[in-house]
Structure 1
């Protein structure tokens, strides 16, 4: 016959899985659809953002490539000058070498030099900026293509605006190597401005003269800028994009609309001055994006929302600019959103089919599982009842063993407690009898003997009461003082500890707890007897410390018991609360500490733990086992 509770359990087994499956399906569907909607909206936004970001990356990459192209040629500008000038000087040198080889045996040095000067006089390069000059190694000018008035004069001490002695520097360099590069400042013929010049010189040793040429760095760089601008202007981008370059003063260097090139943007489009100043501010700082409504002269479209990437090339004070219009991308973004919606619709249909199929399968499975569980329930019910009965018998046996062990200890303690008073009674009776036989018994000696016997009898009676109170089967929980429990325990064990010279050091606060007093006394007896057995092995310093302290704002109490017996081996310390675990061989039962743990945790709802503690007492170092019990304080 099944009880109501058992029938309830069977009904739960039958119907609970189906309910759970349906609830899970509905909950999962709700959560999925909710998250899916969030994810869908996020994806929509992501499509827009990603597309915008991809366009941003495009214009940034375009600007970066232009920047790298400019920077590469700018950094190689001087090396290009050196390479080009060297090629020209090498050619002029080969002419002199050829003349020397041909006429060295038929003409004089001066005649060969005159022929050489004639061949160089009209040679020009670098858009007529490049020419040749010849000096001897004493600094005398032999030939100058554009300043013939210098010929025949010494320029050995001539200095440029930096104070550099130009010809001396060339001569000193050629004394070390037959060909050198050098740089100096010289008047540029067309503008008459002093500009930095890079030159190359080559020594012709047979005549001890050198030929050279140079190029103005600024002029060469200006030509480089023109070549770069022509290259940028020739680049064609998809989507109608373009690269613009404007210098920091607002001069348009290149842009899509050729009519704007060469004009100043501030004069041409003063109403958008703030936008241009922001662009130049970004260029001076480095690089960044800027968004604005485009009404500038650069916009010849119907679109307005523009994103512009700006990067400054500081060496030339150029702002490199590329842009795109976000409102021109709407059609392309919308087409991508339509594809995303179609994919999303397919996902929802597939999800609904999967959920329906899974629910059907799970319900069928749950039907067979519940049948199996119902059979298993009855099988396990029988096994559980059998195990409960076995465990009950086992617990009763363990409790009985614990009581018998405690009773054995108590009988031994009673024997020790009674020895002294029985010895006093025996001595008094023997003495009185002896005096009576000799006829010397006086009344005062008789009274003194009777008093001694009476006191011993009272002590015996009190000892019986103490032990009877311990064994009294009181199962009613009460509120009691821990100090009283300690005193009662020590009274029961006093004789055994005194005989073995074991001393107690107490530090006890006034604390009350709720529970079975006698069961706590049994726990203390188990712990203290174990300490006594270990301390007996020590020759001296046999101490047991009992400390009781309030914690957690007087809500709980810690009960410490530690000894000086050396501690418990780490190999076994985790096992001492296990049933039938003992280190005493046949003398131990292995149930004392196990029962103690059950009492603390079950009857008192407290905790008990053990550890090895190192400490000082009377300026001596000790080590021993420390038991720590924790209880709730009862007010």
Structure 2
């Protein structure tokens, strides 16, 4: 610091006492103010924390009560089912016995028909339940859902476990008069699979019949589940509170908004992001229960987005979770009430602080004027220094930004060079082929046109690559509807010259299926996969070298497959091929975008999936082994 500045400092020291007095008064005022403000903030924070804590305990208690109710109902399912089945069979037995007792004078065949007809149309358990009758000779007397089997023998009938169902039922009835039995049987709506069924059977003595009924355990449990969900849906809580339930697939089972019940969370859009539902399911499945905080798109009653904290608990036996929450604005309303009370006291303290400040200010007013002049001069000096510093910092920031930009450009150039290597190689080999054929006099017009077309296609691809890399990770990439067949044909236009040169035959059987996404990136993926197949085929010593490309529809998805006959991928590396920086090639041979980037494009940019497996097959009566790439894409 120069002498002039030292003199200024000396002059400032002369005024130190009054300045110190003012500073003390200011610090005292600030101290009182801050002390009150800290107390206010602490009280505000304490109230908020206590309210959140209390609400968490409340919603946990409410959810736990519902959980225990569900648990109790689930545990009693089998007993309830047994009671229901036994009561139904007893009703049927009473009907049959009344008909028999009132019509004993009639012929037995007539009586049997009257009883069968009386029971045939009776349905229960949501129209699933019905009665069946067998005699002790294992003959079916009544089977309403398969009337064509009445009169036939079920002596040798076995369920999926190999149990002789009718034999076992008759043995139980003969020894115990009545009893329960569990077996497997087809549902009316599914004749391909047998389901667990619990039945109750009773001996009808006049004709040595077995009268019984059964219920699919799964269906009865679903009825119990529906009953519980209806109960939950009818529960009412203050401030539009409600219990919600979802299955582990993200489908709403119950909610205060009736219109989203039955919808998947992706369709319902009750939360701002579907990750909320994924977190709720994972918390319920992995931890049993827990709290999640998220944004609900429409709070009941105000239909506005609101932050919400919910407690969720999973019930794994029914593959579902239940939960209840509270909203941030309710917390704020409670805090606001307490805050208003604190503000009143805070304002009283501020009045005292203001009075003290006024007194000190009046006493030291004259000294303050002199002090302000000095401070103004010093301020001007410091201001200039600060401006100089800011100018220096600004220049430094501009330099750093330029360096960062140049680094980004360098990275982009490296990526483009990596992507251009293969097309440039194709252009070189094609142009060399033209030159060679010209020299030896075998260059036909057709060869010349085809070669020029390949060079033009590759050149256009190189041009498109610049734009594609520029917007590669941008969210503004334009997605379009395009044909899988067009993609394959465009790809083959680029890589065919090298495949032909290497004596590799491509069998293209793609169909004109439409998908939606980034067409140019899919072309890059296919080029990379075909080049990988080409590289592997070059390593093997065999006359026939093939690449098969096919597409078909499966489960409303486009399946695109690329299969070679290069011997497959070694077992020890096949599980690592999608890892970043993993390669079996020398660095100088690396081309394309790599399998790691290929998977990134398929999964993140095209919303699809990719898988590679070794595949053994026959072609032209010859057995081959190769790597089969399977890509699944959206079907438009």
TM above 0.5: no
Q: In terms of Rg, which structure is larger?
A: 1
- TM-score normalized by the length of structure 1: 0.45
